Amino acid sequence: MPEYKNIEVTRDKKTVVAALKAPLNAETVAELAALIEELTPDKSAGALVIAGDFGGPAATAPDSEGIAALCEAVEGFSRPVLAAITVSAQGPGFELALACDLRVSAETTRFGFPGTGGAPPERLAKLVGWARAKHMALTAQVIDALEAERWGLLSHTSAESEVASVAKKLAKSVASRASRK
């Protein structure tokens, strides 16, 4: 695997983990997209975990085309992709988390679309329905992990220090029987 600056890639048998070392900016998005492209022909990779703070400061947010392309790559990847969210998933980071097949977060994580001006929440609507999705987008509502879990957005919540290990265990479980295509 090539060296990446903004993500740290590790592998444990069939599970590949991409730990975010930098905010979700244009470079990080490009590296995640490159990793997915690299893993696409690798049939030994059964699941991908993207772990870290998906929120990132607004000043470093990736452009909408970059995040849209990454989300499409995640959704088009033939093996399950899990989001392990430690701090926040807001704006483009929330969109990326929603593109993943399963989501695990810290009990203190916050989710939402602040500052998006009511952008169409299609991915969110698929998971929670149009009424909730439009409300969140139009009002810039931010919800906590408990509410996200109640809405069915999360598979698990745990202490922040345990999020990555919970996601890895879940990834190992799905990797053995994984294929989305």
Assign residue 41 the CATH number of its domain: 3.90.226.10
Q: Report which of 118, 81, 124, 129 is spatially closest to residue 101, judged by C-alpha positions.
A: 81
Range of the domain at 55: 7-112+147-175
| 38 pLDDT above the threshold of 60 | yes
Region 71-82 average pLDDT = 95
**What letter represents residue 67's amino acid?**
I
Q: Which of 26, 79, 15, 91 is nearest to 51 (CA)?
A: 15
Domain count, the chain: 1
Report pLDDT for 39: 96
16 phi, psi to nearest 5 deg:
-110, 130
Q: 58 pLDDT exceeds 70?
A: no
pLDDT at 109: 95
Residue 59: pLDDT over 50: no
pLDDT digits (tens, 9 = 90+) for 97-145: 999 999 999 999 999 877 555 555 789 999 999 999 988 888 888 999 9
The gap from C-alpha 32 to its chain's centroid, in whole angstroms, comes to 11
Residue 106 included in any domain: yes
Residue 2: inside a domain: no
pLDDT at 140: 85
CB 105 within 8 A of CB 73: no
For residue 178, which of 77, 85, 61 has the smallest C-alpha distance? 77
Average pLDDT taken over every residue of the chain: 89
pTM comes to 0.91
**Cβ density class 121-133: b for 16+ within 10 Å, e for less:** bebbbeebeeebb
Q: Is residue 58 part of a domain?
A: yes
Residue 167 lies in a domain: yes
Q: Is residue 135 one of the residues assigned to a domain?
A: no
